[in-house]
Amino acid sequence: MEIPRISGCFDKLDAFSSHTKLHTQPPLRTPQSRFAHFCRVLSTRVYQANATLCHSLHRAQIPIPGGAQMVAQSIGEGHQTAALPLTGIAPPMLDVASITLGELPFRMDMCHLPATESIVTATRFKHRPVRWPHAVATYLRTSESLVPIVAKRDKQVLEWQLVDRLDKKRRVTERDLKPHGGPNPNVFFELHLLYDDTNEKVTISSLDPIRAKAIKTLAEPSVLNGTKEAMRNGRVSFSITYMHALSGMTEPRHRRFRYRLVCVDEGLKDYPHIHCDSPAFFSIAKIKKMATV
């Protein structure tokens, strides 16, 4: 194989690969192997850049075509975080420049999400440290690749953490939200299930009456029907053991869902950052066999 006029770039390529920590084998000696490695590095970086761009566009409420949305990395100190719903999972930015007088200096972040920067094929996650989603894979009905997937019979553990918008390393709890509320103030939250494309709440009556005729509740236990959970030590957690609402039951069919954590405390509910959405996901009956991490 001939690779003309590019051998001079390989020294820079080696330095770039070393800097990005993508070497997983001894140094590549032949022009062919070094060129192939360069293509893999470049593909990974373009993939991550596009995912980060998708995240920024979504935060700015700029529409993104479905086929252009991609997965991005989820990172965190002690727990992993997510921001607004994307096809995949992306980290929120620090809010230093955007906090104004009268705004809440805290926000809720979703915990236990996978770091997806290196995922390029369908992957299923073990229960720890990743608790949600069950997989990042192709939704076969629409051929959308590398999207969050949940299976109806697999337990979902949905947990959010209160964080300081100026200093994520600082531990904050409900006592920071209600400094005059006593030693154990109550801050209550609800979990809602939304249609990702319209922001409307999912209800039994909004599903296809034929395909959903056998279900009596969206999930078990009935945490999506207004159940209130109090924040404890800065965290709010909901568990779902059986998901009845499936993407194949929607009208039109095969829509994505999204969870929304909603603060119902009278003194806090008007602050937008106290609410938090999960990444958008598809709900299916069963996940096929795939690589597990």
Residue 155 and residue 12 in one domain: no
The residue that leads in pLDDT, 156 or 183, is: 156
Task: Label residue 190 by pLDDT band (50, 70, 90).
Answer: very high
Query: Which of 68, 96, 112 delimits the end of a domain?
Result: 68
Residue 51 and residue 79 in one domain: no
15 exposed, middle or buried (CB, 10 Å; 0-12, 13-18, 19+)?
exposed
Where does 152-256 show beta strands of DSSP type E? 156-164, 188-195, 219-220, 229-230, 235-240, 242-243
Task: Label residue 57 by pLDDT band (50, 70, 90).
Answer: low
| Cα–Cα distance measured from residue 259 to residue 143, given in angstroms and rounded to the nearest whole number | 22
What is the tally of structural domains in the chain? 2
Interval 238-291: pLDDT, tens: 999 999 999 999 999 999 999 999 999 999 999 999 999 999 999 999 998 887
| Cα–Cα distance measured from residue 237 to residue 224, given in angstroms and rounded to the nearest whole number | 13
Query: Which of 68, 92, 113 delimits the end of a domain?
Result: 68
8 A C-beta contact, residue 59 and residue 80: no
Task: Label residue 130 by pLDDT band (50, 70, 90).
Answer: confident
Residue 98 and residue 184 in one domain: yes
Where does 111-255 show beta strands of DSSP type E? 123-124, 135-139, 144-151, 156-164, 188-195, 219-220, 229-230, 235-240, 242-243
Interval 94-128: pLDDT, tens: 555 466 667 889 999 999 999 887 788 999 998 77
Residue 43 and residue 145 in one domain: no
Task: Label residue 15 by pLDDT band (50, 70, 90).
Answer: very low
Q: Which domain holds residue 31?
A: 8-68
Residue 161 and residue 228 in one domain: yes
Task: Label residue 41 by pLDDT band (50, 70, 90).
Answer: low
Query: Which of 35, 50, 68 delimits the end of a domain?
Result: 68
DSSP letter string, 33-73: HHHHHHHHHHHHHHHHHHHHHHHHHHHTT----GGG---B-
The mean per-residue pLDDT over the stretch 156-174 comes to 94
**The predicted structure's pLDDT at residue 168:** 87
The mean per-residue pLDDT over the stretch 36-64 comes to 57
In a domain? residue 1:
no
Residue 33 and residue 171 in one domain: no
The mean per-residue pLDDT over the stretch 82-86 comes to 34
In a domain? residue 278:
yes
The pTM assigned to this predicted structure is 0.69
Residue 77 and residue 45 in one domain: no
Task: Label residue 70 by pLDDT band (50, 70, 90).
Answer: very low
* Position 13 pLDDT exceeds 50: no
Residue 13 and residue 158 in one domain: no
List C-alpha distances in Å: 40 to 35, 46, 120, 149, 220. 9, 10, 11, 26, 43
